């Protein structure tokens, strides 16, 4: 699924958008239990905190995070 990033490892906004889209796909998989869903969400939020606000694409990453959170709260 998702991998843990080291604190000083950079994540580009476009990389985060891809990760958020993958997260949404995972949330549609009903075979994944609540513990694994929570773990995936925690990783995604942690990675969002590593983004730099001045980077190109930051706003798009924010939208991707919102969409991912909605997928977690309201799985299809």
Residue 34 main-chain phi, psi, to 5 deg: -60, -35
Q: Burial of 23 by CB count in 10 Å (0-12 exposed, 13-18 middle, 19+ buried)?
A: buried
Going through the chain in order, the beta strands assigned E by DSSP cover none
The reply to whether the predicted model has a pTM over 0.85 is: no
pLDDT tens-digit series, residues 6-65: 555 678 999 999 999 999 998 998 899 999 999 999 999 999 999 999 999 999 999 999
């Amino acid at each position: 699924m998702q991998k843990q990033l080291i604190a000083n490892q950079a994540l580009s906004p476009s990389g985060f958008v891809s990760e958020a889209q993958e997260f949404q796909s995972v949330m549609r998989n009903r075979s994944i239990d609540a513990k694994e869903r929570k773990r995936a969400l925690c990783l995604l939020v942690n990675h969002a905190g590593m983004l730099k606000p001045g980077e190109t694409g930051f706003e798009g990453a924010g939208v991707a995070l919102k969409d991912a959170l909605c997928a977690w709260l309201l799985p299809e």
